[in-house]
Amino acid sequence: NAGVMQNPRHLVRRRGQEARLRCSPMKGHSHVYWYRQLPEEGLKFMVYLQKENIIDESGMPKERFSAEFPKEGPSILRIQQVVRGDSAAYFCASSLRTAFLNTEAFFGQGTRLTVV
Amino acid sequence: TQLLEQSPQFLSIQEGENLTVYCNSSSVFSSLQWYRQEPGEGPVLLVTVVTGGEVKKLKRLTFQFGDARKDSSLHITAAQPGDTGLYLCAGSNTNAGKSTFGDGTTLTVKP
């Protein structure tokens, strides 16, 4: 029973390039959440998606960042024209289809993005 | 904006000592989670507490949720080097997938 799978584990991009981060939720989970973590800080919520729908994107920067969770395939967090300040660890979490209060979410191992 | 403050930020102790980590907020949360994160890895859920005053024990770890559901504590008895890591608390009011995280307590247990 595989957990939440994220790839790549490490990603290096030059300033101005695009970064694509992928997340495959746990089997049976259709709720996906993306978080960003800066060094020695906690995780900051970015976006909450269900299949083909963005439910809550209140934590997403207004520009350059987008997320999707298509009917088939993994969820994608896309960062266009990356800048050095985008360097961080990006974590994906998933929860059960019938997400309700107090549903537990499980995290992947993260993607470490470094912008040079 | 709901905030969670964790203290202390850093803690270094000897093996066998006891310790307590605190997580405080001015806001009420419906549930609160504690995670442990090791370098280069994602957070791993330790416990979820949902009822004010609730106490949960996980081997040498004791978790408490404040009566008003605004604060929580994690107590570790007889710490071991394997307890070393970043301990994060997170509160939620909708579902546990959308949570407010504290900045964590970095614990180092020296043999």
Asked if B95 lies within 8 A of A94 by C-beta distance, the reply is: no
Q: In the predicted model, what is the mean pLDDT of chain B? A: 92
Q: List, in sequence order, every residue forming a beta bridge with B45; answer none if it has no partner.
A: B35
- pLDDT tens per residue across span B16-43: 999 999 999 999 988 899 999 998 899 9
For residue B102, the chain A residues in CB contact (below 8 A) are 42
* pLDDT reported for residue A16: 97
**Residue A98 in this model has a pLDDT that exceeds 80:** no
Q: Which two tokens stand for residue B92?
A: 């939620």
**Residue A63 in this model has a pLDDT that exceeds 70:** yes
Q: In the predicted model, what is the mean pLDDT of chain A? A: 91
* pLDDT reported for residue B109: 97
**Residue A1 in this model has a pLDDT that exceeds 60:** no
d(CA A59, CA A57): 5
- pLDDT tens per residue across span B66-109: 999 999 999 999 999 999 999 999 998 866 578 899 999 999 99
For residue B44, the chain A residues in CB contact (below 8 A) are 107
For residue B94, the chain A residues in CB contact (below 8 A) are 101
Averaged pLDDT, A50-69 = 94
Averaged pLDDT, A82-93 = 96
For residues A96 and A31, the answer to whether their CB atoms sit within 8 Å is yes
For residue B98, the chain A residues in CB contact (below 8 A) are 33, 45, 48, 56
Which residues are CB-contacts of B5 (< 8 A; sequence separation ≥ 6)? B23, B24, B25, B102, B103
Averaged pLDDT, A105-115 = 94
**Residue B1 in this model has a pLDDT that exceeds 70:** no
Residue A42 has its nearest CB partner, among B40, B48, B88, at B88
Interface test with A, best of B25, B28, B54, B95 (most A CBs within 10 A): B95
Higher per-residue pLDDT: B95 or A28? A28
Mapped onto helix, strand or coil, the DSSP state of residue B15 is coil
Q: Which two tokens stand for residue B36?
A: 């442990």
Residue A45 has its nearest CB partner, among B88, B98, B104, at B98
Residue A95 has its nearest CB partner, among B35, B97, B106, at B97
For residues B24 and B4, the answer to whether their CB atoms sit within 8 Å is yes
